[in-house]
A = this chain, B = another copy of it.
Amino acid sequence: MSASSRGNLLVVHGGGPTPVINASLYGVVQEALGSGEVGQVFGGVHGIKGVLAERLVDLGSASAETLASVRVSAGSALGSSRHKLSDEEAGQVLDLCQRRGVRWFLGTGGNDTMANCLRVHQECGRGDGALTVVGIPKTVDNDLAETDHCPGYGSAARYLAQSARDLCCDVASLPTPVCILETMGRNTGWLCAAAALAREGPDDGPHLIYVPERRFDRDRFLAEVKDVVGRLGWAVIAVSEGLRDSAGRSVAKASSAVQTDPFGHALQGGVGAVLSELVAEKLGLRCRYEKPGLLGRSSAILASDVDRAEAEGVGREAVRRALSGQSGVMVTLTADRSGAYRWGTDVVALDRVAGVERSMPAAFLSDHGPDVAKSFIEYAKPLIGGDLSTHQHVRTLHGPR
């Protein structure tokens, strides 16, 4: 088959980057170029919005050195956007693909990106069906349905676990008694829960973990903080930015209207500030808050090797599925934790994941207060890769507060 007679492939990123989204991109490019079936491998520049403006880059012309570096870099090498495709725009994407000889369309992202992929796929159904659409999962939030976990989550979880461990080492040695670590997570607690992986011993922090899956009660929170500080002399508390009270109201201050994206998701943040003031005022305890925010999804240094391998794997699998003609599906990750951790891939129909947000199941949360259950630790631990850097020897010298 001559290069000119072969179809082309287009890959596009949606939503926020992860530390390993570029590993998926690397997987796509390598698999496509190595297949012998793909002509040109196009990347959509700055997401589906860039595709609508026909901003495409020829990834096959990137040097091997560039691709190898991209594989281990954070950020999104193609750029990204948050744009909800209208039916008309989905038609425009289809037109562009036909014009540029694109037979395979891959969208890398979370549930909003999968909704865009589904729209393009449905638009194909109305046309001649010549475009194959496959989704590649990606989100640090870990909230895509139908997959054991999401590429990007393991690295962000590793960052948070290491950061929580470092933070606890600092706070345990200092007189500021309470410190709140605010994590991302608009509606789900997956990221916040990962802070639990910081612990090495029974009194290690974070001592309290508050996730949006459970309604937040101010009085109970204050009693729980008071109890930990009374017992240990200090407390580190992990809270998700998306905490809501029993009436469903955000615990963080409402932010202004401009802080909402085209999918209607408001920019959040501020829950750490609100709760640290609450602790200071009501309990009379000095209290700080830290909010690494985007740093937790942009650190290549703290990425998980397991996550990176899986991200590359779903990228490669998406190409294989697309070339075999499967359309309207997203690649999923499977996991076997019965012995040494092993992962695999499968697919699910796009309409099962588009716009669907997966919360933490109740079984992953403790029955005895604001914490995760042991089953969550078993679920998440293999995903963050090797052991974290330890501070055990530091604690042997100064002992308890």
Residues of A within 8 A of B (CB): 13, 16-17, 22, 43, 45-47, 49, 57, 59, 62, 65-66, 69-70, 73-83, 162-163, 166-167, 169-176, 179, 255-256, 258-259, 261, 267, 269-270, 272-273, 276-277, 280-281, 284-295, 297-302, 389-394, 396-399, 401
Contacts and interface: CB of A to CB of B under 8 A. Distances in A.
A57 B397 contact: yes
A70 B261 CA distance: 46
A301 B75 contact: no
Contact of A286 (B66, B258, B276): B258
Contacts of A286: 258-259, 261, 267
Nearest to A71: B393
A163 B75 CA distance: 12
Contacts of A65: 393
Contacts of A300: 166, 389, 391
A31 to B, nearest CB: 18
B167 A80 contact: no
B258 A17 contact: no
A75 B292 contact: no
A170 B281 contact: no
Contacts of A287: 259, 267
A73 B288 contact: no
Contacts of A280: 255-256, 258-259
